[in-house]
Amino acid sequence: MSIAENIKKYKNEVEGEGVTLIAVSKTKPKEDILEAYEAGQRIFGENQVQEMCEKQTELPKDIRWHLIGHLQSNKVKYIAPFVELIHGVDSLKLLQEINKQAAKNNRIIDCLLQVYIADEETKFGLDFDEVIELLRSEEYLSLKNVKITGLMGIATNTKNEKQLSIEFNEMKVFFDGIKLSFFRKEETFKELSMGMSADYKIAIEEGSTMVRIGSSIFGGRPAKV
Ligand SMILES: *Cc1c(COP(=O)(O)O)cnc(C)c1O
């Protein structure tokens, strides 16, 4: 199927469940993004700051750019003028830098805290206790130019559906608890970004509100070096 056909298929499927589709276009050329754009897609996810900035400069201005991967503090300034949502916030220090750069741009930047749910050593993210500690800290409470609109998680890279369900369910239960404890009156805390090409169906069953789908839409990427 073409990129345009894939976009229509996935948009239909996930939006029918009330879930937002993030088309993950990392490593893919601008022509591919334009094809998806012309098929109606507006939200694109990238994981490299420089690549996202280059694409943002050259592609239509109503594209909504989401940074989905690990973000280094020293690169926040480049995306602060335009990024719509930062999915992978995994430290107070990073949140403070986003706040600083957002203020310089007269913006409030929406962020998701990345929670560590996978049974793997290599993934970034905060554990449950660290999320709570961050949300309780004076430093966090003083930040005026960031808004935490939810949580993000990456499940273990496994075909074991039972395990995936358990991990996504843990994430949803934690999300509900955090909502009650810290964001009870804030309607803007509502996003649970979980699910990728291989596991989005299970993620949606378990309560995802945003899926990040790349290879199933745009085709495979070269293996990481
Ligand atoms: C690359 C990436 C995705 C998309 O992965 P696919 O398997 O290609 O759908 C989703 N989330 C994050 C954080 C990624 O880095």
Which amino acid does the sequence have at 174?
Answer: F
Q: How far is the CA of 195 from the centre of ligand 1 (A)?
A: 8
Q: Shortest CA distance to 170 belongs to which of 109, 216, 125? A: 125
Residue-wise pLDDT for 119-160, tens only, equals 877 668 999 999 999 999 999 999 999 999 999 999 999 999
Q: What is the pLDDT of residues 3-39, one digit of tens each?
A: 999 999 999 999 999 999 999 999 999 999 999 999 9
| Angstrom distance (rounded) from CA 16 to CA 10 | 10
Q: Ligand 1, atom 4: nearest CA belongs to which residue?
A: 214
Q: Which two tokens stand for residue 35?
A: 């094809």
Instruction: Compute, in angstroms, the gap from residue 145 CA to the centroid of ligand 1.
Output: 27
Residues 6+ apart with CB under 8 A from 139: 92, 96
Mutate to test the pocket of ligand 1, among 22, 24, 124, 202 (most ligand atoms within 8 A of CB): 24
Question: Which residues, in sequence order, are CB contacts of 156 under 8 Å at separation 6+?
Answer: 117, 118, 119, 120, 163, 164, 167
The torsion angles phi and psi of 70, rounded to 5 degrees, stand at: -65, 135
Residue with tokens 């800290």: 137
Query: How does the average pLDDT of the chain come out, rounded?
Result: 96
To test the pocket of ligand 1, the residue of 196, 211, 216 to mutate (highest count of ligand atoms within 8 Å of its CB) is 196
Provide φ and ψ at 211, rounded to 5°: -110, 145
> Do residues 113 and 91 touch, judged by C-beta distance below 8 A?
no
CATH code of the domain made up of 3-217: 3.20.20.10
